[in-house]
Amino acid sequence: MFTHHSTTKLVFLLVLSTGTSSLAYSAPDSATLDIIDARQKAFTALESQTKAVKKTLDGSDTDWQNLLEASEQLVVNSDALNGAFALGTLEGSKAKESVWSKPDKFNRLMQQMQQGYQQVALGAQNQSIAEVEKGLKAAESTCKSCHRSYRSRW
Ligand code: HEC
């Protein structure tokens, strides 16, 4: 009786674990791919908008209106990354498992990047080159550090 019971249990566990592993390897659905695509686009936009803002900086010849618009886009795109790393959106992306297993540093760097871009926008409003540069530096100091820990190379 006891033997029979544990065999049943074992078979049940085997079925369960096979089921789980096949789930882990199934192709991501289209809603998941949309989330991944949106966050990759946001990062790509941040990269090109950061370059655009840097080009705009030109001492007393700075085009402040242009700089303000570009920096507002930086704020929008960096804020759009909040909640963009929903659970279950690993497969089909370049994110590493550590995004979910070690979120503290990930969240800290994300926040640091967002605050940097907010400072860029404030600097643009105040027409302060120094403040814009400080914000850019803060934001850009997060990219490599986060990629090293949280983005796979392929
Ligand atoms: C908090 C972590 C974090 C920060 C900060 C961060 N990134 Fe990323 N980045 C990632 C992750 C994770 C991915 C992979 C996303 C995916 O494939 O779903 C990524 C992807 C990218 C991509 C590739 C998008 C694609 O289509 O594959 C670019 C470009 C990029 N980041 C640029 C930047 C730049 C520039 C900065 C700094 C200004 C930055 N990132 C800051 C985590 C970060």
CATH value at residue 33: 1.20.120.10
Q: Would you say residue 8 lies in a domain?
A: no
> Which pTM value belongs to this model?
0.86
List average pLDDT for each run of 10 residues in the chain, which is 154 residues long.
54 50 69 96 97 93 95 97 96 97 98 98 97 98 98 88
Looking at the domain assignment, is residue 48 inside a domain? yes
Ligand 1 mutation target, pool 71, 111, 151, most atoms within 8 A of CB = 151
Residue 68 structural domain: 27-150
141 is a domain residue: yes
List all residues 6 or more positions away from 120 whose beta carbon is below 8 Å from its beta carbon.
53, 71, 74, 75, 131, 132, 135, 136, 139
pLDDT at residue 154, rounded to an integer: 73
Is 5 a member of any domain? no
* The total number of structural domains that make up the chain: 1
- 114: in domain: yes
Ligand 1 pocket residue status of 34, Cβ below 6 Å: no
Question: Is 14 among the domain residues?
Answer: no
Distance 104 CA to ligand 1 centre (A): 17
